[in-house]
């Protein structure tokens, strides 16, 4: 079993983009599971202006070993100029679930 897993967060401009990216990551065996949380409100500064937009959030479950490929895939297929791609490492979880992640990615 891998020792360190990643939960990668990525916001998308809409649910369709989120679905497309989620399917791509799972099909390429870069993620075991991707949850899509629609209806997220984001407030941020971009090019000197405060923006407020509705987005969908991807919760991508993978391993640390796959992070660079995930980042590259998201960056290449994401419509944003600078997409939010943040990885949070985790080492603990239900052992059977963590093993399932490993099985999906091998």
In the chain, where are the structural domains located? Answer: 5-104
Per-residue pLDDT tens digits for 5-34 = 999 999 999 999 999 999 999 999 999 999
Phi (first) and psi of residue 79, to 5 degrees:
-75, -20
Eight-state DSSP code of residue 47: T
* CB-CB neighbours of 81 under 10 Å: 7
Which pLDDT does position 106 carry in this prediction?
Answer: 85
Contact indicator for 80, 14 with CB cutoff of 8 Å: no
Per-residue pLDDT tens digits for 33-61 = 999 999 999 999 999 999 999 999 999 99
Contact indicator for 75, 86 with CB cutoff of 8 Å: no
What CATH number labels 5-104? 3.30.70.120
Which pLDDT does position 91 carry in this prediction?
Answer: 85
Per-residue pLDDT tens digits for 70-104 = 999 999 999 999 999 999 999 899 999 999 999 99
d(CA 13, CA 56): 6
Backbone angle region of 59, left / alpha / beta, with phi > 0 → left and psi within -120 to 50 → alpha: beta
Which pLDDT does position 2 carry in this prediction?
Answer: 46
d(CA 1, CA 47): 43
């Amino acid at each position: 079993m891998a020792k360190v897993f990643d939960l990668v967060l990525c916001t998308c401009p809409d649910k369709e983009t989120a679905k497309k990216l989620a399917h791509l990551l799972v099909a390429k065996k870069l993620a075991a599971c991707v949850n899509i949380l629609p209806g997220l409100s984001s407030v941020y500064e971009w090019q000197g202006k405060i923006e407020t937009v509705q987005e969908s959030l991807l919760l991508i479950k993978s391993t640390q070993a796959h992070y660079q490929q995930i980042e590259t895939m998201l960056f290449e297929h994401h419509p944003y100029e600078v997409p939010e791609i943040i990885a949070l490492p985790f080492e603990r979880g239900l052992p059977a679930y963590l093993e399932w992640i490993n099985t999906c990615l091998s």
